[in-house]
């Protein structure tokens, strides 16, 4: 039955990585329009402030002052997620 060891180990790592991916990496409250991921500079124009929450899976969630949410980036999945998880743990 050892032919499945690699498959079982990969699935174990994937489950751990998926749980890790929902964790918060950073929170940043600001009014900058020069963030590397920001393709909506109008969110911070005229001194408006936002709160950006960066998750371990690579997604950045922006909360605007009116309660609106905007997502930046694409969530890592599969082997890419396992690699990111392995680098940080």
Per-residue pLDDT of 14-27, as tens digits, reads: 999 999 999 999 99
Who contacts 36 (Cβ-Cβ below 8 Å, separation ≥6)?
Answer: none
Tens of pLDDT along the chain (89 residues) come to: 678 899 999 999 999 999 999 999 999 999 998 888 999 999 999 989 999 999 999 999 999 999 999 999 999 999 999 999 999 98
Helix (H, G, I), strand (E, B) or coil at 13: helix
Which has the closest alpha carbon to 53: 74, 23, 26, 35?
Answer: 26
pTM of the model as a whole: 0.87
């Amino acid at each position: 039955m050892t032919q499945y060891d690699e498959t079982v180990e990969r699935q174990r790592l994937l489950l751990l990585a998926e749980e890790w991916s929902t964790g918060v990496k950073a929170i940043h409250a600001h009014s900058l329009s020069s963030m590397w991921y920001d393709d909506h500079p109008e969110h911070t124009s005229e001194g408006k402030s936002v709160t950006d929450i960066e998750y371990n899976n690579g997604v950045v969630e922006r909360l605007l002052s009116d309660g609106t949410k905007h997502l930046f980036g694409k969530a890592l999945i599969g082997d890419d997620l396992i690699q990111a998880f392995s680098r940080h743990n």
